[in-house]
Chains A and B, each alone.
Chain A
Amino acid sequence: MTEQAGESDPTAQQPDEHDPDARGYFGDYGGRFMPEALIAAIDELSAEYDKARIDPDFLGEFNRLLRDYAGRPSLLTEAKRFSRHAGGARIFLKREDLNHTGSHKINNVLGQGLLTKRMGKARVIAETGAGQHGVATATIAAMMGLDCTIYMGEVDTERQSLNVARMRLLGAEVIPVKSGSRTLKDAINEALRDWVTNVDSTHYVLGTAAGAHPFPLIVRNFHKIIGIEARAQILDQAGRLPDAVAACVGGGSNAIGIFYGFIDDPAVRLYGFEPGGKGIETGEHGAALGEGTPGLLHGSRSYLLQDEDGQIAEAYSISAGLDYPGVGPEHSQLKDSGRAEYRSITDAEAMDAFALLSRTEGIIPAIESSHALAGAIKLGTELGEDGLIVVSLSGRGDKDMGTATEWFNLNSPDAAASRKDS
């Protein structure tokens, strides 16, 4: 990785034809459906990012942190034993789980942390679902000397309690949110309420490629590195481009990051896997792209789970990081254009893939990422033995051990034996 911005720089933030238009629209989706009180702050953020994205000092510092702090480039690992369960197609894992803090979220927070410093703000706030974005934000706040407050739905503070402890240890204040469904959507609401009250001193580090313009652009660009690295690595290791790229979709940041590296390779099919929860037919899911309709949530127009009155539905997923009724606007455009395809994976399918990867590869994935793994098994079966798939392994599963212990009854001595056949 070079110290300068330029064509060879894999994290280049340069404007290109995939940028949204001047009003922040990706086709019909995006925009700035925000209270007037926050417009000045998002204008300031846009202006700062427009300067930073072409500033060699900013890019050099961002690249240095990605390398020396986050540990990039992340590995691309072939999952040979796992692949046997996927119709024999070759499956490679883009190992975002190996980044510092354990997920892809660190890429975005390093970039936004640097922007916060450039804007002269001393405090950051963030929402978190799985707690991975909260941990990442608390981490860079500690490293950069920023005050940090994290909003987390009360349900999620319970199912991801390890991450609550991590954030507190890192010096962040964690506020459990008790409104609405007490999950990610409500954490974003509460973070927005904090932001509108403290906007002079505070930057809102949004954790996914959603929200008002310029967040979907900025978050995508800070995660582009995932796809750019993966493309070079798969060419190196497999000698060709993959047939398919698979990622889970909560708000869509790891997916858009890995998709981006292949977006101009029309032969590479892009697949996003949304949380199918207890099954689409039960209504308890978070499949915004598959089941939603266009609407306005958290600042942008995008696909959304809502009723006919425009009341936002409560999403459901076993995975706290995917439990969100909306999705980033660029995914809505990719869905409509057909460039990407979105499917859903149930809790049970994801948990099976969670166990399978653990047992076949010695890698415990996040439950979020397990949705992409379950998707890859299906894709592999469709593609057959010649298939080549890159999966975004967006995070590691330590945080999910409570859920897994319950799901697989891991406290029982028989639990391990039951699936030795894998």
Chain B
Amino acid sequence: MTDGLADFLKGTKAEGRAALAGYLPAGYPSIEGSREAFAALIDGGCDILEIGVPFSDPVLDGPTIQAASGTALSTGFRLRDLFGLVESVSSAGGRAVVMTYWNPVYAYGVDRFARDLAAAGGLGVITPDLVPDEADDWLATSTEHNLDRIFLLAPSSTEERIVSTLDVSSGFVYATSVMGVTGARDAVSSAAPTLVSRIREHTSDLAVGVGLGIRSGAQAAETASFADVVIVGSAFVSKVADGLPALTALASELADGVRTSPAPVA
């Protein structure tokens, strides 16, 4: 894949830093507002933009993202609006990946979704409730459309599942740092470094992203000491209400954070 996430993440690794990924739900606080919000994240230094598809039943999300997704849906977000947003993120120089519960993709048509996403410049899809065991059609269409497949691993994943998930992953693999739902937390869980080192025993080249709960530059730095991608969601979502400059400021703080400590040597 040319200019895919893998190449980009090799570059950040070579620079001795982690990449910063910022998440916001599409259509929050409005369709136009989310274009501006993503632009603010790019301005502040987010390398990867995770565009969340608002879903009626976000079982892996805590109150912050639940509420934002609800707002996006009630102000009229439709799945077809996603691709325009991906396009605007890509043309502003952001690397766009989509994060989505699987039913919207299933309803849209897996193949049609992959085609439209690739055409809009999207690089891949993060799938919180789709495990590789159920992903036969996605494995095929993502290959066909050159999209990265970003699956999740958890502290509860067995060695066997880590291996089989890594086998079909591309771009990076998403290590959930705590058992639980999304939401900012005060401390980065101690389960995260353990999970990342378990993952690294089985892969030398696939990048590992860590998310769930990061909200400060210090936490980003701490996470960057063992992860290749530092993923921040709820903290950005909470900042949307404070305006675009606040979003950019948080992104810069986190972007400094991921550069503060050397990325791990694989």
- Please list the residues of chain A having a beta carbon within 8 angstroms of any beta carbon in chain B: 23, 31-41, 43, 179-180, 185-186, 189, 192-193, 196-200, 295-298, 304, 306, 308-312
Contacts and interface: CB of A to CB of B under 8 A. Distances in A.
B25 interface: no
B176 A309 contact: no
B79 A309 contact: yes
Contact of A36 (B66, B105, B131, B181): B131
Interface residues of B, number: 39
Contacts of A192: 59
Contacts of B60: 35, 193, 196
Residue from B58, B105, B129, B157 whose CB has the most chain A CB atoms within 10 Å: B129
Contact of A37 (B106, B130, B154): B154
Given A36-B165, A37-B176, A306-B103, A189 B59 contact: yes
Given A32-B134, A180-B57, A309-B79, A37 B179 contact: yes
B10 interface: no
B215 to A, nearest CB: 18
B48 interface: no
B151 interface: yes
A196 B156 CA distance: 10
A290 B39 CA distance: 45
B161 A39 contact: yes
A180 B63 CA distance: 12
Given A189-B57, A199-B179, A309 B104 contact: yes
B106 A295 contact: yes
Given A33-B134, A179-B66, A310-B79, 18 more contacts: A31-B134, A32-B133, A32-B134, A33-B129, A35-B129, A36-B154, A39-B131, A39-B156, A39-B157, A41-B156, A180-B56, A196-B59, A196-B179, A198-B179, A199-B156, A309-B107, A310-B103, A310-B105
A411 B125 CA distance: 58
A296 B100 CA distance: 13
Contacts of B70: 179
B179 A197 contact: yes
Contacts of B158: 40, 43
Interface in B28-57: 55-57
A34 B131 contact: yes
A198 B165 CA distance: 23
Nearest to A295: B103
8 contacts: A31-B134, A32-B134, A35-B59, A36-B152, A36-B156, A39-B131, A297-B103, A310-B106
B107 A295 contact: yes
A297 B103 CA distance: 7
B108 A33 contact: no
A160 to B, nearest CB: 22
